[in-house]
A and B are shown apart, each in its own frame.
Chain A
Amino acid sequence: MLFNSFTFVVFAILFFSVWAMLRKQTHRLFWLTAMSLLFYGWGDWRFLFLLLANGLVDFGAALLIERFPARKRLWLLLSLSSNVGCLAAFKYLGFFTVNLNAALEALGAGHFPIIQLVLPFGISFYTFHSMSYTIDVYRGHFRPVHSLLHFLSFLSLFPALVAGPIMRGASLLPQLVEFRRTTEESRWSGLKLIAQGLFMKMVIADNVAPIVNEAFNQAAPVASMPFWWIIITMFAMQIYCDFCGYSLIALGLGRWIGLELPENFRHPYLALSVKEFWTRWHISLSTWFRDYVYIPLGGSRDGSAAAYRNMWITMLISGLWHGAAWTFIIWGALHAGFLTIERLFKLQEFLARFTFGRVLSWILLIVQVWMGWVFFRSESLSQALQTVGIMWNVRDWNLAPVAELLALNQRAIAALGLGVLMELGAALRVSRLRFPRLAPLSIPAPVAVALVLVTCVYWRGPGSAFIYFQF
């Protein structure tokens, strides 16, 4: 079920109407879990079995860790194998077989049949929710929950189930023990987040998406350098507004239930270095990788060479997490490469001392991130390489496709402009949470929020699923 669908509006009305009437904790947990499972099973009810089976294994493994601490490593391994095994089977089996067959073919050997299973949406997110739970129990960060209902409500929490933010048991489970009473202020701040999230997704991301899709669906890339810089800028805005929009809606819905979910984005395109970018982009995932991959690998404890190695491994896995394709792995590798250069030469630290230097740092960051997005979005490695080639070929200064793009896609250009203005506003320290006040226009906040919602309905782009659902 999509947040930006009519079905979800009906779902939300039903959920919150009943929720407001429930007083007992168990009733609320039951209602939340049942509706979360309905939310997930709406698209394809068969995937519910996978979600529940994974959850049961982790719930059981955590209890066994508590009951038999001497064998806790074994129980953790059981949980991790189940989670990673599911991910491997559903997400990576096809990719692995294709590449294995290519290698075997090079050696003149036979080949395996390619099995490509249907990818259950959100599998990467809920698997990471679940894994963090058993790992934290194993590490003794908190005691496992003894109520299956309590655990399932954590695992399947509908606002964050399919596209994050990736939840941690330590922060969420206590909130599910006793739901906080929502206040007028928390409901209002929740509504503002939801309105902003819907606006980012439906008005900006969805209006830009068709142009980006069309550019990448061409059999041969358009040979124009400025054209591709505009397209990649559009994609950068699309993916940011799509994903950040989802996260904001999740945060807002959480507040309506009385839950505080972690912030997932902090204006990443305003960062001045790749390192800073990763403290602002998909924060719940980058901290997950830091805590459960980078640090267990040794982090920076064993000297700088080991730190570089660990960082590369983490970034490559992060790339693979996003999708089973070489383009995603290269995207991860590119960011690892940029981070390595940053650490080695410390250019950004030097540039940060001057105003002009900071502007230069920002431009450098944008160029690096945009290059990464080319690989992230491309349908194939060869398309990505061709696109990068055009973007750096000054002889491809063909303005005709740009003129056509600007003339035929005013709506998308307007959406891109809105996205840029929004970030510019943030750069000028207009707090995101105060946006609906629109003080200079003297519009009362409720009217401003209502107008934002009207815009979402009547100025929305050709709606599609959230990009991160596929991960």
Chain B
Amino acid sequence: MKLDLTARTLLLAAGFILLAGALRSGTVMGAHLPEAFWAQKLLWDREFDIVIAGDSRVYRGVSPEAMESALPDRRIANFGFSACGFSKPYLKATEALLDHNSTQPTIILGVTASTLTPSATKENGFLSLRKLRQFQLAQLALLGRVSFFFSPYDLEEVQNLFRKSKVGYTLVWHTDGWVQSRKVPEDPTEAVRIYRRQAKKARWRSRVSEPIVANLLETVREWRRRGILVYAFRPPTPQAMVEVETTFMKFDEAAFVQQFQEAGGVWLPFQAEQYHSYDGSHLRDDAAVEFSTDLGRALRRADLAQAIR
């Protein structure tokens, strides 16, 4: 059968489209995050011993697999979402992932200034997905890979096809919830600039809110009453960012730590400068692995201390 010009052209286009999709490396995607990864987080039907909650510094900075090297036999999930604040629904969903029959059900909170602000508790990656119905989430989880294949290229991606060493974000999505990431070239002040601009623009919405802190502490007390171990840490970030968070976003870490400990939580301190950030906010993948291992060790020590007590 001889195909006419239109059919031949459509077949040629289909071939080109498949080729362009296949040319794309599975790890370089710029801003186009695979919807399947996020949908899958909301659809987890497994239960865990340890659930880590927080925003992008958590989902990029904490690798459950690396933590497990220090905490063997513990099932760990990274439940971080983009720009995610500690809202009631989010804290409830975090708890729902815990196996309450576990010997030590544990929640770890990655506390950044942003997680305690009105803007991050009203609109975030978690809440926007939670609005979807169950079948829509399932559809995303199922078709997300397909839609990623057909998602638009960005300028850097096209350029990368012709470069020896890649420029831009390299992102790998792990099934345990970690997004392994790095950026070339690095820009240590990028996030600081963005945060400062946003904080000036959104003012009170970008400042730490007392009611949100109060709600979080109340939830921590409730978790403790139910026998859940609650830990928190400040995801390591450069000093310039800490200053923005203190000055513009009004995050008083010392005061928060005191309140958190009074509520029954255990604060895990880290030396931020030890871990390398590629944009002034997020940890580069190798630093994230290092930090996660340290987090696992710190948790083991803290668990032992609690057991002795």
Contact = CB atoms under 8 A, between A and B. Distances in A.
A461 B152 CA distance: 8
Among B5, B13, B15, the most chain A Cβ lie within 10 Å of the Cβ of B13
A31 to B, nearest CB: 20
Interface string A422-460: 000000000000000000000001110111011001111
Secondary structure at the B interface, as helix, strand, loop or mixed, is helix
A165 interface: no
B197 to A, nearest CB: 11
Contact of B6 (A191, A447, A454): A191
A-B pairs with lowest CB-CB distance, top 4: A450-B13, A453-B13, A446-B9, A450-B12
Given A445-B9, A446-B5, A461-B152, 14 more contacts: A184-B4, A188-B5, A188-B9, A411-B154, A447-B12, A450-B13, A450-B15, A454-B16, A454-B17, A457-B150, A457-B152, A458-B20, A458-B152, A459-B153
Interface residues of B, number: 18
A267 interface: no
Nearest to A451: B16
Interface of B: 4-6, 8-10, 12-13, 15-17, 20-21, 150, 152-155
Contacts of B4: 184, 187-188
A457 B20 contact: yes
B9 A449 contact: yes
Contacts of A332: none
6 contacts: A187-B6, A188-B6, A188-B9, A450-B12, A453-B17, A459-B153
Interface residues of A, number: 21
B191 to A, nearest CB: 15
A458 B13 CA distance: 12
Contacts of B153: 458-459
Nearest to A190: B6
Nearest to A452: B13
Secondary structure at the A interface, as helix, strand, loop or mixed, is helix
Contact of A410 (B10, B20, B152, B155): B155
A184 B5 contact: yes
A457 B5 contact: no
Contacts of A190: 6
Contact of B152 (A6, A187, A450, A460): A460
A184 B2 CA distance: 12
B9 A191 contact: yes
Interface string A351-365: 000000000000000
Contacts of A450: 9-10, 12-13, 15-16
Among A191, A410, A450, A458, the most chain B Cβ lie within 10 Å of the Cβ of A458
A451 to B, nearest CB: 7
A191 B8 CA distance: 11
